[in-house]
């Protein structure tokens, strides 16, 4: 009888070890799968981030170009304004002279005639 009990116990221990080994192997496989999945997700996120940063760089460069163009246009406008606004005429002088100011320079004309067509 003791041999029979011993055989049953040994068989139970063998089956238990096999079940434990199978559980351990399954856990190892699941861990590998999870690690592989996480690595793939990290790679995808890194690729999206790199693409986003590249797009951001392109947009910033475009903004810088447009700002430079706008600055040039504003400077040109200021130049045009100074030429147009800088021309001021005055006939308030006692001698009847015409005074013109262009870009801060004053010019006086005592006589002037009509332009010929």
Where do the domains of the chain lie? 2-79, 86-117
| pTM recorded for the entire structure | 0.46
How distant, in Å, are the alpha carbons of 70, 71, 72, 76, 112 from that of 83? 20, 18, 17, 11, 21
* Angle, CA of 84, 87 and 93, to the nearest 5°: 160
Choose from 1-5, 16-20, 101-105 the range with maximum mean pLDDT: 16-20
**What average pLDDT does the segment 49-53 reach?**
96
The stretch 97-114 carries a mean pLDDT of 68
Of 10-14, 69-73, 110-114, give the lowest mean pLDDT range.
110-114
In this predicted structure, the answer to whether residue 81 has a pLDDT above a threshold of 90 is: no
Is 17 a residue whose pLDDT tops 70?
Answer: yes
pLDDT band at 94 (very low <50, low <70, confident <90, very high): low
Q: How confident is the model at residue 33 (pLDDT cuts 50, 70, 90)?
A: very high
Q: Report pLDDT for 16.
A: 94
């Amino acid at each position: 009888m003791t041999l029979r009990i011993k055989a049953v116990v040994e068989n139970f221990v063998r089956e238990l070890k096999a079940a434990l080994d199978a559980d351990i192997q399954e856990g190892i496989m699941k861990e590998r799968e999870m690690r592989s999945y996480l690595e793939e997700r990290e790679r995808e996120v890194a690729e999206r981030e790199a693409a986003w940063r590249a797009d951001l760089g392109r947009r910033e460069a475009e903004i810088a170009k447009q700002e430079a163009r706008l600055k040039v246009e504003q400077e040109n406008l200021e130049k045009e304004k100074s030429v147009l606004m800088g021309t001021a005429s005055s006939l308030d002088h006692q001698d009847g002279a015409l005074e013109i100011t262009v870009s801060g320079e004053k010019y006086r004309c005592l006589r002037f005639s009509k332009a010929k067509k």
